[in-house]
Amino acid sequence: MTRVQRTISLLCASCGFAAIAPILPAPRVEAAQTIYNTSPPSVIRVAIRENNASGEPDPRGRIIYVEAVPFATYCEDVLPNEWFPSWHPEALKAGAMAVKMFAWYHHLHPVTIDGFTFDVDNTTNFQHFQEMSSQPTTNAAFQAIQKLAYTKPNGEIVELNYSAGYENDPNWQYRNAQKMAQWGSEYWARKGQSYLQILQFYYQNRALMRLQ
Amino acid sequence: MKRHPSKRSVIIASLLASAIVVAIPTQPQIGALRHAHARTLHGAIAAMAPAGIDPVEQRTEAAPQAKPPVSEAPAPQPRARDAGNGKPGPGKVPVQPNPSGSKPKASNPSSGSSAGQAKPNASSGASPATPKPVPPPSPAAQGNDQPAGPESWGYTRKTAKLRIRVIDGRTKEPIDGAEVVLIETEQRFKTDAQGFTPWFDAPVIRNPKYRPMVAELHGQLGAIAYKDGYRDSIHLGIRVHEGIRQQTTIWMYKIGPADRRIEPVLYQEPYHHLWLIQLADKFRSHTQPGEGPERP
C-alpha cells in the first residue's frame, strides 16, 4: 500500500468515526461528591417492598411505595436490625458509621426501579430498615458518631460495605475485600479496640472527618 | 426340624424378660442416690444439649446457696459460644412449671440435689399447659437469681429492661391508657401519655428447641395490647438481650364502622438476620451448598 492510499484510508476512517460520534454515548464526567460539596442528607427516600408470606419484607418483592424518612431516624431504625443491640458500644459505633456512610452514598446515587426513584429499600438489598425499631444502645452509638464521617482522605463519600462474617473471628478475608464483618466488629471491640481502630482495620485508605 | 420353640424355652424367656423388667428402677432417686451424675440428669430433657453448656456465672451464683455433691467426674467446661449466651444446660433439674404462680421451690436448680427437687408434671395435678390465670410475681419481685419459669422451657435467670410503646397504626400517635400484657409472665402495664409502659424486668427466654442446633442469639417475648375502640394487637417475637435496655412498638388499629369481622392483629417480629445466616450455615452440605457459606 502506497503512502497516498494509506492517507486516504485513514481519512475515510476518521470521517466514518466522526459520522457515528453523535450516536455513541458521551463519556460521563462526574465530579467527586465530597463532604465539602454536599451536605449531610436530611431525608432519605426508602422504597418499601412487599412482604413475603410470613410477613417480612421480601428483597425480591414488588415496591409498594417510597417513604421519605428523616436521615437520622433511618440510621437509628437500621442499626438494631443489622447489629445486635447487646454488642459492645465500640462495635455499635463502628456499625453506626458504616450504616450512615452507606446510606449517605446511596442518597447521592439514587436508582429508579419499576417507576419508583429511591435511595435505598427496606430490605437486605440495601440495609434492613424496620420502622420504629430503634433501641437505646444503638441510638447512643449513632449519636456518638453523628458529627463525624468516614471518607476517602480527600473527603470523597464512598460506600462503606459490610457483611455478617463469622462469630469469634477477626474475619481477615473481609478486610481484603474492603468490607466490614459485623461479627468481626464485635470481635475487635471485645479485644479492646475502639470503633476507629475497627474501621481502620476493615477499610484502608480512609479518614475520619469532622462534619461542619 | 422344630419350627416353634418348646414350652420350656418360652417359659425361660418369659422369666428372663420379667427379671429384666423388674430390674429397671421405677424410682430413679432411689437407684441414683449413690450416683451424682444420675441425680443431676434426672428430669432433664435429653434432647436439649450436652450437660457441659452450663454458663460459668450461673454455676458460681449457685455455689454459695448449696454445695453440689462431690463427684469423681471432672466438672464439664462450658463451651465458649454457649457460655456467652448465658443459657442453662439440661444438667439442671427443671423447675416445677408452677401453675399456682408462686415462686418455684427448688432452691438451687443447678445443684443437682435430689432433696426438694421438683419433678415435671408431678404432685400438683395441674398440667403445665393449662396454668391458672393468676399472674405470677414479676421477675423483679422474685429477684434476678431465679428464672420466671422452668428452665427446660427456655427461661433463664437473666433479665432485660424492657418498655413497650403503643401507637395508633394509622396516625402513628401514641395511645394513652392502653393495657399491655406480657404473655410469658402475665404482667400487666398501662401506657402513659407518650404511649410508653414503665421500664420493667423482662425475662430472656430462648426457644429451647433450637439449643442443640445453634445457640439462639436473642430471647423472644410476646405481648398483647388492649385498648377500647381498637383491635387487640398481639406482638410476638420481641427480641430481648440480657443486661441492656430495650424497647419495642405495638401498632394498634382503630375499629371503624366498616369493620365487620373484628379479630386481633398479629405482628410477628422476625429473627435477627445475623442469626438466620448462622443457622443456614450450620447445616449446609458440600453436595448442595445453595448460596454457599458466608463470605465477603
In chain B, the domains with their CATH numbers are 29-126 (no CATH), 137-296 (2.60.40.1120)
Q: Report the share of chain A in percent with pLDDT over 70.
A: 90
Q: State residue A167's pLDDT score.
A: 92
Q: State residue A19's pLDDT score.
A: 66
Interface test with A, best of B164, B204, B220, B247 (most A CBs within 10 A): B247
Query: Is pLDDT above 90 for A164?
Result: yes
Do A86 and B165 lie within an 8 Å CB cutoff?
A: no
Q: State residue B92's pLDDT score.
A: 37
Angle between helices A195-202 and A89-108 (to 10 degrees): 50
Query: Is pLDDT above 70 for B91?
Result: no
**Do residues B227 and B191 make contact, with C-beta atoms less than 8 angstroms apart?**
no
Distance of residue A183 Cα from the nearest chain B Cα, in angstroms = 9
One-letter identity of residue B28: P
The secondary structure of chain A, three-state, reads CCHHHHHHHHHHHHHHHHHHCCCCCCCCCCCCCECCCCCCCCEEEEEEECECCCCCECCCCCEEEEEEEEHHHHHHHHHHHHCCCCCCHHHHHHHHHHHHHHHHHHHHCCEEECCEEECEECCCCCCCCCCCCCCHHHHHHHHHHCCEEEECCCCECCCCCEECCCCCCCCHHHHHCCCEEHHHHHHHHHCCCCHHHHHHHHCCCCEEEECC
Q: Does A125 contact B at CB distance below 8 Å? A: no
Q: Does A133 contact B at CB distance below 8 Å? A: yes
Confidence category of residue B55, pLDDT binned at 50, 70, 90:
very low
CA distance B225 to A144: 34
Q: Which helix (H) or strand (E) holds B164?
A: strand B155-168
Q: Closest to A135 (Cβ–Cβ): which among B217, B247, B273?
A: B247
Is A11 inside a domain boundary? no
pLDDT digits (tens, 9 = 90+) for B32-47: 444 444 343 333 333 3
Is A204 inside a domain boundary? yes
Query: Is pLDDT above 80 for B94?
Result: no
Q: Does A167 contact B at CB distance below 8 Å? A: yes
Q: State residue B103's pLDDT score.
A: 37
Q: State residue B2's pLDDT score.
A: 65
More confident of the two residues B156 and B293: B293
CA distance B124 to A9: 103
Residues of A in contact with B80 (CB under 8 A): 168
β A180-181/A162-163 pair status: parallel
Q: Report the share of chain B in percent with pLDDT over 90.
A: 33
Residue written as cell 469532622? A210
Task: Name the interface residues of B facing A (CB cutoff 8 Å).
Answer: 80-81, 165, 167, 217-218, 241-249, 267-268, 270, 272-274, 277-278, 294-296
Q: State residue A45's pLDDT score.
A: 98
Q: State residue B89's pLDDT score.
A: 35
What mean pLDDT do residues B256-276 have? 91
Q: State residue A16's pLDDT score.
A: 66
Distance of residue A111 Cα from the nearest chain B Cα, in angstroms = 24
Is A80 inside a domain boundary? yes
Query: Is pLDDT above 50 for B107?
Result: no
- Count of all residues that appear for chain B in the document: 296
What mean pLDDT do residues B64-80 have? 38
CA distance A50 to A114: 13
Confidence category of residue B6, pLDDT binned at 50, 70, 90:
confident
More confident of the two residues B111 and A107: A107
Residue B283 region by backbone torsions, left for phi larger than 0, else alpha for psi between -120 and 50, else beta? alpha
Do B249 and A84 lie within an 8 Å CB cutoff?
A: no
How many domains are there within chain A? 1
pLDDT digits (tens, 9 = 90+) for A5-47: 777 777 667 656 666 655 665 555 566 899 999 999 999 999 9
**Phi, psi dihedral angles at A111 (to 5 degrees):** -125, 160
In the stretch 39-58 of chain A, residues with CB closer than 8 A to chain B read 54-56
Residues of A in contact with B277 (CB under 8 A): 164
Confidence category of residue B104, pLDDT binned at 50, 70, 90:
very low
Residues of A in contact with B294 (CB under 8 A): 163-166
Which of A115, A106, A109 lies closest to A65 in space, CA to CA? A115
Residues of A in contact with B167 (CB under 8 A): 132
What mean pLDDT do residues A128-143 have? 96
**Do residues B290 and B277 make contact, with C-beta atoms less than 8 angstroms apart?**
no
Query: Is pLDDT above 60 for B218?
Result: yes
Confidence category of residue A3, pLDDT binned at 50, 70, 90:
confident
Residues of B in contact with A183 (CB under 8 A): 274
What mean pLDDT do residues B166-184 have? 96
What mean pLDDT do residues A175-197 have? 96
What mean pLDDT do residues A141-152 have? 96
Residues of A in contact with B206 (CB under 8 A): none
Q: Which helix (H) or strand (E) holds B268?
A: strand B265-268
pLDDT digits (tens, 9 = 90+) for A91-127: 999 999 999 999 999 999 999 999 999 999 999 999 9
Work out the mean pLDDT of chain A and round it to a whole number.
91
What mean pLDDT do residues B217-221 have? 90
Q: State residue B139's pLDDT score.
A: 45
Q: Which helix (H) or strand (E) holds B200?
A: strand B200-205
Give the cell for residue B96.
Answer: 416445677
Which of A95, A112, A109 lies closest to A47 in space, CA to CA? A112
More confident of the two residues A57 and B119: A57
Is A6 inside a domain boundary? no
Confidence category of residue B149, pLDDT binned at 50, 70, 90:
low
Q: State residue B214's pLDDT score.
A: 75
More confident of the two residues B24 and A126: A126
CA distance B3 to B73: 51
Query: Is pLDDT above 50 for B127?
Result: no
Do A136 and B247 lie within an 8 Å CB cutoff?
A: yes
CA distance A159 to A203: 11
Please name the residue of chain B whose CA is at the shortest distance from the CA of residue A127. Answer: B273
Sign of CA dihedral B109, B111, B116, B117: positive
Is A118 inside a domain boundary? yes
Residues of A in contact with B247 (CB under 8 A): 134-136
Query: Is pLDDT above 60 for A188?
Result: yes
Please name the residue of chain A whose CA is at the shortest distance from the CA of residue B276. Answer: A164
Work out the mean pLDDT of chain B and round it to a whole number.
69
Owning domain of residue A199? 26-210
Please name the residue of chain B whose CA is at the shortest distance from the CA of residue A183. Answer: B274
Do A136 and B165 lie within an 8 Å CB cutoff?
A: no
Is A100 inside a domain boundary? yes
Q: Closest to B273 (Cβ–Cβ): which among A124, A168, A177?
A: A124
Query: Is pLDDT above 80 for B97?
Result: no
Q: State residue B85's pLDDT score.
A: 37
CA distance A14 to B281: 58
Query: Is pLDDT above 50 for B71?
Result: no
